[in-house]
A and B are shown apart, each in its own frame.
Chain A
Amino acid sequence: MSRIDFMQGNTACAEGALAAGCRFFGGYPITPSTEIAEHMAAKLPKVGGVFIQMEDEIAGIASVIGASWTGARAMTATSGPGFSLMMENIGFAVMTETPCVVVNIQRGGPSTGQPTMAAQGDMLQCRFGSHGDYSIIALSPASVQEMYDLTAEAFNLADRFRIPVFVMADEIIGHMRERLMIPDSVHRGERKLLGKGNLPYQADDDLVPGFPVFGKGYGVHVTGLTHDERGYPCATSPSVHECLVKRLVDKVESARDSIASCDIVNPDARVVFISYGAPSRAVEQVLHDIHNDNVGHLRLKLVWPFAESLLSRFSNAETFIVPELNMGQMAREIKRHTNRRVIPVPKLGGALHDPFDLAALVEELL
């Protein structure tokens, strides 16, 4: 029997991870994400898992990468400054194709910024923050329910694509408390293991090689250096590097339409909001208040890779309005993919968009 509970977003995130079979958490306290670590510290020992408080966020993500190679589902959680410290290791996880989940409860930046206030200022950092070309998946929960559901799903995506998957929440969603339906069980995908006779980095049709768990009879060289299909360092061959990096990007990008996850309201509308995370709550209020079929909403649950095909679902749209708690990070991406008008509605400082302001903007456009 599923059950109804009432909890904080950060707690729901930790519960979703536990339900998905996460048995390792390595992390470091940082506002506004700390409740996730605290909940894991209390709960993981009871289910046979491991919680380690590491000495900083660099060590936090690195321990998660290590745990993942033992076959465990592993995660860390942080916020802006810690996220910045993790960037080199994120690239390492990408290059070594290590499945892991990184939760970022975003706060105001740059630097120490606004530790207790919400922001969405790390949306481009999560996509591009480590050096070199690569691709990742980022999810953005807009409710306590989605903190649970999307964190659980993040583990499946991480295992399927062998990449770091980001849960890009924000302080509002992390700290809000609301109703949550806890299902009996959540769908748990399997991490595809390396097949007998396959080379360690020989990809299948999905461009993802099977995973050789440490200690299970595979002889594998795991390295952040450019490597060939055998896993051998091969850092001076242009063709090996090009082939590897293209595959790392393509394994995610070629799946972007099939993994796209969103809510669509009024697909025939002329004016369409595009949102993710906390600003979605303000947009939902606008749609509820003005009750007009000419106003639509595309709410992204999966933000990266951005599936531009979603825009064509709104065939009558003249204008896309993109409210974000940043200076227009995803609006920039959306503009890249459409000739229609895109109006960013940036918001800084930690307060959510006022639905009245958004409604006034819509009325001007209709």
Chain B
Amino acid sequence: MKGDEAACVLFDAGHRACGGCAAAMAARFILEAAGKDTIIVSSTGCMEVFSTPYPETAWNVPWIHSLFENNSAVASGIVASLKKQGRKEKVIALGGDGATFDIGILCISGAFERGHDFTYICYDNEAYMNTGIQRSGATPYDASTTTSPAGKCSYGNPRPKKDLPAILAAHGAPYVATASIAYPPDLKKKVEKAVNTPGPCYIQIHAPCCTGWGFESEKTITIGKLAIETGLWVNYEMEEGKVTRVKKVVRKPVEAYLTEQKRFRHLFKPKRNDAEIAKIQAIADRNAEKFGIDIKLKA
């Protein structure tokens, strides 16, 4: 890295994320890949709050906090106006999974359908963390949150994760990818590709949350890797609606991932719930089959 580049970290010190926060890492990787001529539109959420405790903003690029639901619509206005002025800045709309999967999907759908040249990046920590761990449309099956509490009447979140990449691919997005903060070079390559692809592109970044999922903060990368290694998260790229690249793994059983996190503790204590664990294993098996992620070892 050249000296002047090193001096300007685009997502810099001065944020107040929890120790081990994957979303903060994601922001840094995103801007390292997108470069300094980037405008960020940030939805309400953890990232918006922790990155901008005035006067200590972490952003060394133009940045606007939209509302919770409308970052893609604000981005639409920015992109259309820049285009009219003949300007070439990259525009990234950044939101958590609540802002992306739930409250913001109307504005995202509109922006993708209109075909604006921007990149939408979701840092997916699988619940509303800013308001204190409520379920979202991205919360995985059986995860306990404050609004899907495990107990006598429930095993946690009763629904599987919404397949948002497929929904946005169905809008005709030229490039859709999933990534994980556990694999930074891959993540950065995908961001670079997205911001340089004309039209609306989508990247969903798996961002383990030590506070919301219940694991020690030094384990963020470990948890991220385990999600990939168990097949509960798949890293892939879709170009023009077709899956073109998938990360393959030698799969571990899902328990390796589940037992590391308090949000799944009810599946093991006070007694092991084999039926529910089998359902989660089936989700991983379906992912493996759908994307062909299994590396077959020679016997």
Q: Which residues of A approach B to under 8 Å, CB–CB?
A: 28-31, 34, 37-38, 41-42, 45-46, 51, 53, 55-56, 81, 85, 111-112
Contacts and interface: CB of A to CB of B under 8 A. Distances in A.
Interface string B139-174: 000000011110111100000000000000000000
Closest 8 CB pairs of A and B: A56-B103, A55-B102, A45-B153, A29-B134, A29-B131, A41-B147, A38-B146, A53-B147
A28 B103 contact: yes
Interface of B: 44, 65, 67-69, 98, 101-103, 105, 128, 130-132, 134-135, 137, 146-149, 151-154
Contacts of B146: 34, 38, 41
Nearest to A30: B131
A42 B98 CA distance: 21
B102 A51 contact: no
Nearest to B149: A42
A29 B69 CA distance: 13
B102 A56 contact: yes
A81 B148 CA distance: 23
Nearest to B68: A81
Contacts of A30: 131
Contacts of A55: 101-103, 105, 137
B110 to A, nearest CB: 15
A95 B134 CA distance: 33
B68 A34 contact: no
Contacts of B153: 45-46
A51 B147 contact: yes
A41 B147 CA distance: 5
A51 B102 CA distance: 17
Contacts of A85: 69
Nearest to B148: A41
Contacts of A28: 102-103
Contacts of A41: 146-149
B160 to A, nearest CB: 15
Contact of B67 (A42, A53, A81): A81
The interface centre, meaning the residue of B131, B135, B137, B148 with most chain A CB atoms within 10 A of its CB, is B131
Contacts of B69: 56, 85
B80 to A, nearest CB: 23
Contact of A29 (B105, B128, B137, B151): B128
Nearest to B44: A112
B131 A34 contact: yes
A28 B130 CA distance: 13
Give the interface centre of A29, A42, A46 by most chain B CB atoms within 10 Å: A29
A51 B147 CA distance: 9
Contacts of A31: 130-132
B66 to A, nearest CB: 10
A38 B147 contact: yes
17 contacts: A28-B102, A29-B132, A29-B147, A34-B131, A34-B132, A34-B134, A34-B146, A38-B149, A41-B146, A42-B149, A45-B154, A46-B153, A53-B147, A53-B148, A55-B137, A81-B67, A112-B65
A112 B131 CA distance: 13
Nearest to B154: A45
